[in-house]
Amino acid sequence: MRRSKRQLAVLIGIQSALVVWTAFPFYWMLVTSVKENGEIYGPVARLIPSTFTLVHWRELFYKTPFVIYFRNSLIIATVTAVLSMAIGALAAYAITRLTFRGRTIAARSLVYSYLVPPALLFIPLFQLFGDLHLLNTLQGLILADLTFTVPFCTWLLVGYFKTVAVDMEEAALVDGCTRLTVLLRITLPLSAPALVVVALFSFTMSWNEFLYAVVFNTNSNVRPVTAGLTGMVTEDVFFWGRMMAAAALGSVPPILLYTAAQRWIVQGLTLGGVKG
């Protein structure tokens, strides 16, 4: 499309504004984490820092439980991703390949569950986990995260399994393979890209989860990064350098994974409602 010079200028103007608006907080986060306290809390905000120090990063590792938080987040997100992938694959296979009563209801209840807001579930789950002694455990948070990752994974895999041709599966069944063998040996390998995407999503979703983490786990030994950050505020008056270092580090895994899965994000989050 040909554009006039004025149109081009407007376009570039809006685009630059968007880029600055989006990028500035990240820039400020990184810059703050390497400034000396004197400059951070000085009267003048310098866009280009005049001091450089790694003291906040060192303190983050040695003076705060951040490493524990990070480890907890890794454990919770990894286990959640693996579990939801396994649970989702089994259910999606049943929904797309098998004939049984209640199939439509099962499929629909997935979408409904995906949409039930955590703001409604956290109070009864808090009580339930209290009764089951799951508060202040990593297992509890993994179970809580499954409430949104499992419906999500299953639904996405249902969509994908529908597009995988069934000829090979049928041939294998005729040869006497069981359904489980067919799923493991044929359907899953053919769906490898979808499985990777689903795992990435589950991982980031549970990495980013906050409400359950902050309500269920009050002990900092079992807190993930998101809930852990809230505990770092009260420890010190001058905490912003350290805090921004923690923020930067806590952002790395989801940014990497979402960037890797970028092509599928739109379709994924709208449960296939919007084709990407």
What part of residues 21-40 is at the interface with other proteins (CB under 8 A)? Answer: 21-23, 25-26, 28-29, 32, 40
Should residue 111 be labelled a site residue for other proteins when binding is judged by CB under 8 A? yes
Using the rule CB under 8 A, is 125 a contact of other proteins?
Answer: yes
Among 2, 4, 104, 192, binds other proteins (CB under 8 A): 104
Residue 91 engages other proteins in binding (rule: CB under 8 A): yes
Give the largest Cα separation in the chain, rounded: 78
Closest approach, Cβ 54 to other proteins, in A, equals: 19
Give the pair of three-digit tokens for residue 232: 């770092």
Asked if 158 and 106 count as a contact pair (C-beta separation under 8 A), the reply is no
CB of 87 to other proteins, least distance (A): 4
Which residues touch 274 (CB under 8 Å, ≥6 apart)? 266, 267
Which among 152, 198, 177 is positioned nearest to 97, based on CA atoms? 177
Sign of CA pseudo-dihedral 227, 233, 234, 239: positive
234 scored as a contact of other proteins (CB under 8 A): no
Which listed residue (77, 85, 94, 194) binds other proteins by CB under 8 A?
94
Which tokens go with 20? 């600055």
44 membership: H or E segment, kind and range = none
Q: Which has the closest alpha carbon to 64: 230, 275, 265, 263?
A: 230
Q: Which two tokens stand for residue 197?
A: 């995407």
How far is it, in rounded angstroms, from Cα 160 to Cα 222? Answer: 35
67 binds other proteins (CB under 8 A): no
Contact with other proteins (CB under 8 A) among 53, 78, 137, 251: 251
What CA–CA distance (Å, rounded) separates 88 from 175? 26
Residue 184 sits in the site that holds other proteins (CB under 8 A) = no
Interaction of residue 55 with other proteins, rule CB under 8 A: no
Q: Of 61-69, 107-115, 168-176, 191-199, which part binds other proteins (CB under 8 A)?
A: 107-115
Q: Which of 64, 80, 191, 204 binds other proteins (CB under 8 A)?
A: 204
Should residue 82 be labelled a site residue for other proteins when binding is judged by CB under 8 A?
Answer: no
Residue 140 engages other proteins in binding (rule: CB under 8 A):
no
Compare residues 62 and 112 and give the one whose CB is closer to other proteins: 112
Quick check: 20 binds other proteins (CB under 8 A)?
A: no
